[in-house]
Amino acid sequence: MTEFPDVRIPIGDVVENFIDFLAMNFDAFFDFIFVISSSMIKGLEAGLLAIPWWIFIIIIFLLGWYFTNLYGGLLFGFFIFLIGTFDLWPETMTTISIVLISVILSLLIGIPLGVATAFSKSLSTIMRPVLDAMQTMPSFVYLIPVIFFFPLGNVPAVIATIIYALPPVIRLTELGIRNVDKEVVESAQSFGSSTSQMLMKVQLPQALPTIMAGVNQTTMMALSMAVVGSMVGAQGLGERVLYAINRIDISLGFEAGISIVFLAIIIDRITGGIANRLQKHRRDVA
């Protein structure tokens, strides 16, 4: 009675068989995704590396100044300059490319899905436990299935990052649309607005600050996968951190790690500044 009975429910085996089925029967589809994703990452990385370092710093400074304040712009520019002094400029551009592609694809998937869940209670009920599982599942687990579908490199890291970073933007998009003032919606309906007109001209603008909070959280979660993605061959700052761990190189590990922290601070403050400006604009219009 003190030992658990020798009974096994093979849920893991079912999942493994399903992954094998997808890998065997949808090989062409995954090859297509790999080619498109790889081209996007390489193209964006090449574009970022083509920008002179001082122009890139000026761009970061101007973004920080506009969306936060002068002090923020100067601080962000100094952070990027400091990363360059660590001799990690190419790795930083690679990390930014992976994060940007992951975030863009996450938003293209997550925002429409969030809108759909806001309009469908049944879909929302189905998605809630799925999103709970996606948010609580250890991030390392997402690396296991993607390596069956894609060669090691940046692409499987992007796919795993998308899965990991999707839930916040879906949840907050749904929340933002559901929390739009019912009187505003009823007024739009009384003027004969169609569902699409009401969505585009009333609900999405009203929910935009909340959606931007979801964009911020998705971006931060995507950046947090930088080191985890290096375990499936992703390049960039995460690869440098992993290399430092293997070599017990404290100097390289600290410099690569603090560079990721700098990027996280910059992205968090700028996206937060965008959300604040949208909120201010909404109050001014109202």
Which is more confidently placed, 145 or 256? 256
pLDDT of residue 284: 62
Assess contact for 243 and 249: CB atoms under 8 A.
yes
> Average of pLDDT values for 56-65?
94
Which is more confidently placed, 142 or 103? 103
Q: CA geometry: angle at 227 spanning 20 and 142, to 5°?
A: 25
Domain range for 189: 14-50+86-285
CATH number for the domain that contains residue 137: 1.10.3720.10
pLDDT of residue 1: 64
Position 63 in a domain = no
Assess contact for 256 and 240: CB atoms under 8 A.
yes
pLDDT of residue 60: 94
pLDDT band at 283 (very low <50, low <70, confident <90, very high): low
What is the tens place of the pLDDT at every residue in 241-276? 888 988 888 999 999 999 999 999 998 898 888 877
Which is more confidently placed, 18 or 107? 107
In the chain, the number of structural domains is 1
> Average of pLDDT values for 163-174?
91
Position 2 in a domain = no
> Average of pLDDT values for 18-42?
86
29, pLDDT greater than 90 = no
124, pLDDT greater than 60 = yes
> Average of pLDDT values for 214-236?
85
> Average of pLDDT values for 158-182?
88
pTM score, two decimals?
0.88
Cα 203 to Cα 178, 183, 185, 191, 209, distances in angstroms: 9, 12, 8, 15, 11
> Average of pLDDT values for 178-189?
79
Assess contact for 218 and 169: CB atoms under 8 A.
yes
pLDDT of residue 80: 95
Residue from 10, 249, 244, 218 nearest 109 by CA: 218
Position 8 in a domain = no
What is the tens place of the pLDDT at every residue in 37-59? 889 989 999 999 999 999 999 99
pLDDT of residue 202: 79
pLDDT band at 286 (very low <50, low <70, confident <90, very high): low
pLDDT of residue 285: 60
Position 3 in a domain = no
Residue carrying structure tokens 């009187």: 183
Amino acid, res. 160: A
> Average of pLDDT values for 105-128?
90
Position 65 in a domain = no
Residue percentage of the chain with pLDDT more than 70: 97
Lowest mean pLDDT among 17-26, 32-41, 111-120, 271-280: 271-280
Position 19 in a domain = yes
pLDDT of residue 113: 93
pLDDT of residue 20: 82
DSSP 3-state of 25: helix
Position 148 in a domain = yes
DSSP string covering 61-108: HHHHHHHT-HHHHHHHHHHHHHHHHTT-HHHHHHHHHHHHHHHHHHHH
Position 78 in a domain = no
Lowest mean pLDDT among 34-38, 185-189, 255-259: 185-189
